[in-house]
Amino acid sequence: MNILAAHKVTKRFGGLVAVDALDFTIPQGSIVSLIGPNGAGKTTFFNCITGFYRPEDGSLFFNDVSLTALRPDQITAMGIARTYQNIRLFANMTVMENVLVGQHTRLKTGMLGAILRSPRARQEEAEALEKAQEMLRFVGLAGRGDWMAKNLPYGDQRRLEIARALASKPTRLRDALGLTILLIEHHMRVVMGISDRVTVLDYGVQIAEGTPAEIQGNPRVIEAYLGRGAASGLGQKTAVVAAAA
Amino acid sequence: MNVRLASREGLLTGFINLCCILLGLTGLAGTMVGGWFHLSSRQPGAWLLLLGIAVWGGVRAVRRVPDPSRNKTLIAGLVAGVMHGLTLAVSLWLISTLLDAGAEVRKWLVQLTPEAIRLLTFGLSPVAAAALMFVVMTTAGLVGALWVRASERYPWQRTLSKGPTTVRTRFLALPAVQNFMQRKHSQQILWGGGLLILLFFPFVLGQYWNYTLGTVGIYVILGLGLNIVVGFAGLLDLGYVAFFAIGAYIVAILTAPAPHGIMMNFWLVVPIGIVLAALAGVLLGIPVLRMRGDYLAIVTLGFGEIIRILSKSDALTDFTGGPRGIRSVGGPGLFGFDVSSEFYFMYIIILGIVLAAYVTLHLQQSRVGRAWMAMREDEDVAQAVGIYTLQYKLLAFATGAALAGFSGVIFASRNKFTGPEDFTLLVSINVLCLVIIGGMGSIPGVVAGALVLKGLPEILRQLADYRMLAFGALLILMMIVRPEGLWPSTRRQMELHERAEQSGEPDAGSSPETGP
């Protein structure tokens, strides 16, 4: 069963067709990678899934619910979380607060509850703290909760970003590892090593789709992408969509 | 190269000194110092100011020297002093020659009286006075250089900028304080004690200070509200005065006898004012909050002016009293007693501050406050982690507006009057300034900022016409020395962190007094 299904998704910026009638599916529980040269439309498609862009044409379904009319926060609430190519944390908030913000859609305390510190609000806050601690332990940041996010070393910032993304999951962590992942990554060894399937984009159009082995042998991919000397990887650009099981 | 930099510092401070003379600040310093020490002459004060600035020039020049040997230091000080002296000597010669020739200098420079010039020339001829000035200022530059060498061992500047924070951490690290903080109800005891002090406060103060500090208090409430909008949510609102005005006009229209004669009870009007101001916040917010940063600032600025101009427009004169405002605004009563004097208003204001601080503090440490801060840090990411940014912006705007409306109600009722000129752009800017000066996002910072911004001008009344000038200079100085604000927000966790690091020192040292 497909957790995400895109049908003929098209996104234009003026005369430029960034994503051109793209069909794309992610089977439940799999790791699917999206690759392509710079400007191929990977990030644009990503932004269509997460609701920051509204596609001009086509449809997007997450667990059979249409995403095209939803706001980014509503889409997140359904269980899609993302991390960024260049890490984007809430720099002037503590590590713990970053993870707590990640739980935003799972918490219910509103203005009144917050002002009056109702018993329900207190209990929810305590549970949220506990869950955040668990997340931080999971990514190896236990004991760093009081640090300002901006003071973390680079690698730990990435860990924190992942913890923040995981925190939006509805289930507790031990049930949560059945993630479905959409990966955008320029590092070919990573992509070929972990992906179940790979989709290659060029100029907004899908030019190949298959297992890593099939992609590596595909002449069109080599011409469009690997042939330009990018096979060895262009650096540490990574972006992940983790979708709730 | 050092010579060029040093001479630039000398010229710069010389120019500052010249401005002081031209604006009459030297004469003012003379009057003030003379007043403090009961001197008959104004000369000591005037020269104290001149010499102080010249010495400062020397200090600045030496600071420009990368690795100061003794000779280099002295040369830098000398160069700065010479340039400083030249600037002043030439200007003084020019001015006194002009005065002697009977030129109408005062036409442009009101403060340049012959008497003021005599303070500097000692009645000498222009050339002699200029020479004297040159020698004295050169010496002052050298003194500055020597002073830097002498004070190098003690970095006073760093102490000045970190002082308050250091004092606080040291205080929190005291064994007695530590013991107290670990007790079960320490928080409640602190709050209770603070409240008790506040309750006796108005008794001690006279009518004048009750009124002045009441104004400070109203600005504290305003500041706490804007702190939510700007400090927490990061929305730059330059039209905040609009909500203040709405609160004030609501209480005026509903309680005054004049344009409508509704004459409602004050206590009923308070919630109405708060709710309507919050509603105005939402109504303004819906179209405006789609903008970001500078654009938001400009649009809100316009809104603030629209409300003020509307309130004095001809079309609404029947409704708002037009430019003449509304008189005889009703005050609060309690069981048939009239409690609308400054004294009783102080209590209402204190209560308002406590409530506002309570609300702000609880919001800050909740899901709502975290969502605001996340929006401030990165709006896109905030949306991506599931925060409906428009809703939370509206919440911030409405909460801020509600507090502004509340203080507007108190303000108009206490003054028994409201009019369009109470709500100029300057109010918005003042409130924004106090939030920034206190330390963005910090609740005690708002109180400190309001005291400085609204209280200091009262203390500076001695300076008469130069009050606002001195005030501006102080603000600039503060932003240089403590750019993070008077009382910057450190999260509770961060404090604990610091305390844990610091607590090693006093424990290892001597602490026999911590017994029962």
Q: Are residues B212 and B159 in the same domain?
A: no
The position carrying tokens 């409508």 is B260
Among A195-204, B41-50, B121-130, B143-152, the range scoring the smallest mean pLDDT is: B143-152
Q: Is residue B254 part of a domain?
A: yes
Q: Are residues B250 and B384 in the same domain?
A: yes
Pairwise pLDDT comparison (B236 vs B192), residue with the higher score:
B236
Structural tokens at position A180: 């479905």
Q: Are residues B157 and B221 in the same domain?
A: no
- B301-337 in b/e form (b: 16+ CB < 10 A) is bebbbebbebbbeeeeeeebbbeebbeebbbbeeeee
Pairwise pLDDT comparison (B86 vs A169), residue with the higher score:
B86
Phi and psi at A184, nearest 5°, equal -115, 120
Q: Are residues B325 and B218 in the same domain?
A: yes
Q: Are A52 and B383 an interchain contact pair (Cβ–Cβ within 8 Å)?
A: yes
Torsion angle, CA of B425/B429/B432/B434, rounded to 10 degrees? Answer: -130
* Residue among A104, A157, A169 with most chain B CBs within 10 A, to mutate: A104
Q: Is residue B407 part of a domain?
A: yes
User: How high is the pLDDT of residue A235?
Assistant: 39
User: How high is the pLDDT of residue B33?
Assistant: 85
Is B399 part of the contact surface with chain A (CB cutoff 8 Å)?
yes
Where among B163, B182, B212 does a domain terminate?
Answer: B163
Q: Are residues B342 and B212 in the same domain?
A: yes
Q: Is residue B493 pLDDT above 60, yes or no?
A: no
**Count of domains forming chain B:** 2
Alpha-carbon gap, residue A91 to B496, rounded angstroms: 20
Alpha-carbon gap, residue B209 to B26, rounded angstroms: 31
Confidence of residue B163 (pLDDT cuts 50, 70, 90): low
**Chain B residues inside the 8 Å CB shell of A145:** 493
In chain B, whose CA is at the least distance from the CA of A96?
Answer: B493
Task: Give B78-143 as a DSSP string.
Answer: HHHHHHHHHHHHHHHHHHHHHHHTT--GGGT-TT--HHHHHHHHTT--HHHHHHHHHHHHHHHHHH
User: How high is the pLDDT of residue B516?
Assistant: 35
Q: Are residues B156 and B102 in the same domain?
A: yes
Structural tokens at position A148: 């300002």
Alpha-carbon gap, residue B443 to A37, rounded angstroms: 50
Q: Which of B366, B377, B386 sits opposite A93 (nearest CB)?
A: B377
pTM for the full predicted model: 0.77
* DSSP letter, residue B196: H
Q: How far is CA B491 from CA A97, A179, B364, B400, B441, in A?
A: 11, 34, 10, 21, 10
Q: Are residues B352 and B230 in the same domain?
A: yes
User: How high is the pLDDT of residue B458?
Assistant: 78
Structural tokens at position B127: 């050339």
Q: Are residues B265 and B146 in the same domain?
A: no
Number of residues written out for chain A? 245
Confidence of residue A28 (pLDDT cuts 50, 70, 90): confident
For chain B, percent of residues with pLDDT exceeding 70: 90
- Name the residue type at position B476: I
Structural tokens at position A172: 């507790």
Q: Is residue B224 part of a domain?
A: yes
**Chain B residues inside the 8 Å CB shell of A97:** 370, 373
Confidence of residue B159 (pLDDT cuts 50, 70, 90): low
- If residue A199 lies in a helix (H) or strand (E), which one and from where to where? strand A197-202
Confidence of residue B457 (pLDDT cuts 50, 70, 90): confident
Confidence of residue A32 (pLDDT cuts 50, 70, 90): very high
Among B92-96, B185-189, B421-425, B426-430, the range scoring the smallest mean pLDDT is: B185-189
State the sign of the Cα–Cα–Cα–Cα dihedral A15, A18, A24, A26.
negative
Q: Is residue B471 part of a domain?
A: no
Q: Which stretches of chain A sit within 8 Å of chain B by CB?
A: 50, 52, 71-74, 76-77, 81-82, 84, 88-94, 96-97, 100-102, 104-105, 107, 109-111, 113-117, 121, 125, 128, 145-146, 148, 164-165, 168
Q: Is residue B316 pLDDT above 90, yes or no?
A: no
Distance of residue B388 Cα from the nearest chain A Cα, in angstroms:
6
Distance of residue B424 Cα from the nearest chain A Cα, in angstroms:
31
**Chain B residues inside the 8 Å CB shell of A239:** none
Alpha-carbon gap, residue A114 to A96, rounded angstroms: 18
Q: Are A93 and B389 an interchain contact pair (Cβ–Cβ within 8 Å)?
A: no
Q: B375 with B387: CB under 8 angstroms?
A: yes
Confidence of residue B495 (pLDDT cuts 50, 70, 90): very low
Domain that includes residue B84, residue range: 3-163
User: How high is the pLDDT of residue B511?
Assistant: 36
Q: What is the pLDDT of residues B411-452, one digit of tens each?
A: 999 999 999 999 999 899 989 988 988 888 888 889 988 988
Distance of residue B505 Cα from the nearest chain A Cα, in angstroms:
22
Q: Are residues B132 and B214 in the same domain?
A: no
Q: Are residues B223 and B365 in the same domain?
A: yes
* Helix and strand element counts for chain B (H, E): 24, 4
What residue ranges define each of the domains in chain A, with the CATH number in brackets?
Answer: 2-81+176-236 (3.40.50.300), 95-167 (no CATH)
Assembly ipTM: 0.86
Q: Are residues B358 and B414 in the same domain?
A: yes
User: How high is the pLDDT of residue B164?
Assistant: 60
DSSP reduced 3-state for A54: coil
- Mean of all residue pLDDT scores within chain A: 85
Q: B360 with B351: CB under 8 angstroms?
A: no
**Chain B residues inside the 8 Å CB shell of A77:** 386
Where among B131, B163, B195 does a domain terminate?
Answer: B163
Q: Is residue B174 part of a domain?
A: no
Pairwise pLDDT comparison (A169 vs B430), residue with the higher score:
B430
Q: What is the pLDDT of residues B258-301, one digit of tens each?
A: 777 788 889 999 999 999 999 999 999 998 888 888 899 999 99
Among A56-60, A76-80, B191-195, name the most confident range: A56-60
Distance of residue A225 Cα from the nearest chain B Cα, in angstroms:
30
**Chain A residues inside the 8 Å CB shell of B389:** 73
Q: Is residue B149 part of a domain?
A: yes
**Chain B residues inside the 8 Å CB shell of A111:** 363, 368, 395, 399
Alpha-carbon gap, residue B117 to B100, rounded angstroms: 11
Q: Is residue B501 pLDDT above 80, yes or no?
A: no
Q: Are B384 and A145 an interchain contact pair (Cβ–Cβ within 8 Å)?
A: no
Distance of residue B18 Cα from the nearest chain A Cα, in angstroms:
44
Q: Is residue B330 part of a domain?
A: yes
User: How high is the pLDDT of residue B280?
Assistant: 94
CB atoms within 10 A of CB A13: 10
Q: Are A104 and B367 an interchain contact pair (Cβ–Cβ within 8 Å)?
A: yes
Alpha-carbon gap, residue B303 to B465, rounded angstroms: 32
* DSSP letter, residue B452: I
Alpha-carbon gap, residue B491 to A95, rounded angstroms: 12
The CA radius of gyration of chain A, in Å to the nearest whole number, is 19
Q: Are residues B403 and B265 in the same domain?
A: yes
* Residue among B224, B232, B282, B370 with most chain A CBs within 10 A, to mutate: B370
Q: Is residue A109 pLDDT above 60, yes or no?
A: yes
Structural tokens at position A139: 């990514």
User: How high is the pLDDT of residue B322?
Assistant: 85
Among A8-12, B190-194, B249-253, the range scoring the smallest mean pLDDT is: B190-194
For chain A, percent of residues with pLDDT exceeding 90: 47
- Mean of all residue pLDDT scores within chain B: 83
In chain A, whose CA is at the least distance from the CA of B373?
Answer: A93
For chain A, percent of residues with pLDDT exceeding 70: 88
Where among B163, B181, B216 does a domain terminate?
Answer: B163
User: How high is the pLDDT of residue B153?
Assistant: 59
**Chain A residues inside the 8 Å CB shell of B399:** 111
Q: Is B446 exposed, middle or buried (0-12, 13-18, 19+ CB in 10 A)?
A: buried
Is B368 part of the contact surface with chain A (CB cutoff 8 Å)?
yes
Residue whose C-alpha is closest to residue A216's, from A227, A203, A205: A227
Q: Is residue B365 pLDDT above 80, yes or no?
A: yes
**Chain A residues inside the 8 Å CB shell of B492:** none
Confidence of residue B498 (pLDDT cuts 50, 70, 90): very low
